[in-house]
Amino acid sequence: MINQKTIVDLNADSILKPFTTMEKNGAFSKMYLIVPMVLLGLSSMVGAVDIIFYQDSGACRGSGYSFNGIARQVCCVANGGSVLFTDMDGCKTSLVYRNGGCNSGQVGSGTGNRCYIGGGFTSGYWYQSCRRRSLLGDAPSDMSKCESQAKPTGLVFTEDSAKGTWILKSSNAVELSSQIESMTDAEKVNWFQANGASFHNIAVTENVNLN
């Protein structure tokens, strides 16, 4: 004969087991949704590059504007005598333009950390040149065209590429540039330090003369 306590225990087991299974299924469903999102986020962070437009047309040095953490296929618009692409690799192709906003006037392209010199640059961007399958489906049919446009996100000063680069991130980079136009190199370094700029060692693997 089954006593009352046994009946209560059996009923409790029959209620708790299905509930626990449902909880597990719900947790796994959430994981399936979260994991691809995390991977996509990491992918976009790894893929981002920095693009710098310098005033100097003979080398990637001096004062200029930076576009920090730029994703692929984003057109960076600024006037520059030289243009530097950093955090690049063999699967990232850079393009630079004259007299156009990434839709006409292309004058150079290539992979790796490149410094384009020659003057008259007006825009540039990069794209993923190695075809990869998307985590959530097929890759888009055209991965080389610009999808959006960006403005400078920082002010830059590079006295000598061997000595590194000062970058002051600011949404008012264009306005701030007027404050350092007449400064000496030493004064510019002091100004960047006083305004909280960060220091970066940027390696240039190739200089490309587009004169």
| Contact of 81 with 58, CB cutoff 8 Å | yes
Which contacts (CB < 8 Å, 24+ apart) does range 46-50 have? 47/71, 47/72, 47/92, 47/128, 48/87, 49/85, 49/86, 49/87, 49/88, 49/92, 49/126, 50/85, 50/86, 50/87, 50/202
More confident site: 142 or 152: 152
- Min mean pLDDT across 43-52, 172-181, 184-193, 198-207 is at 43-52
pLDDT of residue 202: 84
pLDDT of residue 100: 82
Query: What pTM value is reported for the model?
Result: 0.75
Task: List, for residues 189-205, the tens digit of each pLDDT value.
Answer: 999 999 999 999 987 88
More confident site: 12 or 187: 187
What is the average pLDDT across 23-33? Answer: 48
Task: List, for residues 78-111, the tens digit of each pLDDT value.
Answer: 999 999 999 999 999 999 999 988 989 999 999 9
pLDDT of residue 109: 96
**3 — pLDDT class (breaks 50, 70, 90):** low
Residue 35 pLDDT exceeds 90: no
Helices (H) and strands (E) in the chain, counts: 3, 11
- Min mean pLDDT across 27-36, 57-66, 106-115, 156-165 is at 27-36
What SS3 state is found at 52? strand
pLDDT of residue 162: 78
- Min mean pLDDT across 3-17, 147-161, 170-184 is at 3-17
**21 — pLDDT class (breaks 50, 70, 90):** low
pLDDT of residue 47: 77
In the chain, what are the domain boundaries?
Answer: 1-47, 48-209
Task: List, for residues 145-162, the tens digit of each pLDDT value.
Answer: 889 999 999 999 998 877
